[in-house]
Structure 1
Amino acid sequence: MGDPAVRAMKQSEIVARQIVARIVRDQLPEGTRLPNEKAMVEEYQVGRSTLREALRLLESRGVLSIRSGRDGGPSVRKPRPSDLGEALTLLLQFEGVNFSEVFAARQALEPALTGMAAKNITPATLASMRECLDRMNAYIDESAVFHAENLRFHKLIATSSGSPVLTILGQTLESVADGLAFGAVGAGFTRAQRLKAMSWHEKLYDALAAGDPVAAEDAMHGHLEDSRKDWMSRYRDLTRSPVQWATAGVSL
């Protein structure tokens, strides 16, 4: 007998995979409208209920956006690390993992990504990072803007690592931590934290611009350790609590 945990795929799941294969094969950009329901029923040789179930599955996976109404329908949406973060949050909740372990995972991964980035970063990416730093300085008292630029700064580092898999994992962990924090306590950076983060970001920029992997890793480790200490100080109960999907918010 086969593994009882392995089940045959439903027809809707097969169709969902066929739709994904077509999107990737034809390199359909985000926002591309898919054919209407009648055309897709004929193309995939399934009933309307099966097609609709396939489309709902893809919407839940972040592959499609579906609008209702006369001018609605499914359109292509590129999955994001935050989509994976939703699934990971659920998995962590069932495993009874504490919030602090999410920070620990980031501390293990992001310095390595930063060291890799120091070997691969381009002048264009450094220029984009400089823009981030300038905006963070200009909007030091506007938490939402600062927060968005902070996420962008870290994303630029990760994508410069040259490892798409590790980049996605790093961004997923960041989205999990960020979503849990904002969902649970509406937490944001204090002004003192923003100033401290800026200091570390400048050190990171200098190390990356110099192409120094050791200095870059050290700076990221110091940055994340400072953040961990701040979180432990301000939200001790949260950091010791199990991860809960119910309290997770959407990362900004």
Structure 2
Amino acid sequence: MTDVHAIEPVRRLKVADSVAAQLQQLIVEGQFPPGSKLPAERVLAEEFGVGRSSMREALRMVESSGMIRTAHGVGVFVTSTEKQSALRSELLIVDDYTVAELFEARVNLEGQSAGLAAKRVSRADGERLRKILKRSEAPELTDEEFIECDAEFHLAIAAASQNRLLVKMHETIRPLFRAYSRRVIQLPGRRDRAQAGHLAIVEAVTARRSREARSAAVAHIREVERDILDHLQGGQG
């Protein structure tokens, strides 16, 4: 059996996301070299300390990033050296953080912020959020202006949570995503999808539906992640 190093058991929230992030990191670090066959799903599930359904979902997520490929009836393999090298340059463009790591952190941050905002939102907070939504609808906005509106929106959600540390965390993590934002904003339908995601969050927050607000925020960030991964994978030719 392949020796699997640095695997830590994953508990609770978003198990598959956590497993996918760890597996991507192991591949990037060379624990699973390009061209190598991964251990069987059952073995990986045992090593990570998760159920097979979570492991299967994690493998699908990693495969969607282009880092592994499935040969049906044979097994799952790490992609070629050339492909891996290209993906490494794409997936580690910000302070050596992978896309999976960045979005795992952001999903939890945005979900927590929206959930708390729904419990603590003020009338002024609601008005601010709707004004940002209205402003970002303008078709004449440049890509950079839309990105700024997007940043302002997510910061306003954090502010509505009335937790100053969450606000600070948003301010800290946001610059890490700017490079990705610039790359995907021109994708067909990206602005419309962003607007729809923001609207769902605002409606849940202002209605004080905490669970719905959290779910809407998580769904929105996951959609952005999928767009980015699809863009990166497609860009590899």
CA-to-aligned-CA distance 1:110-134 (integer Å, 9 cap, x gap)? 1011100111111111111111111
Larger Rg: 1
The answer on whether the counterparts of 1:103 and 1:177 sit within 8 Å (CA) in structure 2 is no
1:210 to 183, 204, 207: 207
Q: What residue number does 1:223 align with?
A: 220
Q: Give the TM-score of the pair, scaled to structure 1.
A: 0.52
Give ranges in structure 1 of 5+ residues lacking alignment. Answer: 1-91, 239-252
The answer on whether the counterparts of 2:129 and 2:156 sit within 8 Å (CA) in structure 1 is yes
The answer on whether the counterparts of 1:140 and 1:146 sit within 8 Å (CA) in structure 2 is no
Paired residue type of 1:228: E
Q: What residue number does 2:16 align with?
A: none
Supply the distance in 2 between the matched residues of 1:104 and 1:208 (Cα, whole angstroms).
Answer: 22
Supply the distance in 1 between the matched residues of 2:97 and 2:228 (Cα, whole angstroms).
Answer: 17
Report sequence identity in percent: 23
2:196 to 199, 209, 219: 199
Supply the distance in 1 between the matched residues of 2:140 and 2:153 (Cα, whole angstroms).
Answer: 15
Root-mean-square deviation over aligned CA pairs? 2.1
Distance of aligned partners of 1:140 and 1:201 in 2 relative to their CA distance in 1, 3 Å threshold = farther
Paired residue type of 1:197: A
Aligned length: 141
Give ranges in structure 2 of 5+ residues lacking alignment. Answer: 1-93
Supply the distance in 2 between the matched residues of 1:203 and 1:196 (Cα, whole angstroms).
Answer: 11
Supply the distance in 2 between the matched residues of 1:140 and 1:209 (Cα, whole angstroms).
Answer: 28
List structure 1 segments (4+ residues) > 3 angstroms apart after TM superposition: none
Q: Give the TM-score of the pair, scaled to structure 2.
A: 0.55
Supply the distance in 2 between the matched residues of 1:221 and 1:140 (Cα, whole angstroms).
Answer: 28
2:232 to 231, 235, 245: 235
Supply the distance in 2 between the matched residues of 1:140 and 1:100 (Cα, whole angstroms).
Answer: 33
The answer on whether the counterparts of 1:139 and 1:146 sit within 8 Å (CA) in structure 2 is no
Paired residue type of 2:220: H
CA-to-aligned-CA distance 1:184-208 (integer Å, 9 cap, x gap)? xx52412511001111111111101
SS at match of 1:235: helix
User: Residues 16-165 of structure 1: matches in 2 within 5 Å?
Assistant: 93=95, 96-139=96-139, 142-165=142-165
Report which stretch shifted further, 136-145 or 205-214.
136-145
Supply the distance in 1 between the matched residues of 2:183 and 2:128 (Cα, whole angstroms).
Answer: 27
Distance of aligned partners of 1:195 and 1:111 in 2 relative to their CA distance in 1, 3 Å threshold = same
Supply the distance in 2 between the matched residues of 1:140 and 1:163 (Cα, whole angstroms).
Answer: 34
SS at match of 1:199: helix
The answer on whether the counterparts of 1:118 and 1:209 sit within 8 Å (CA) in structure 2 is yes
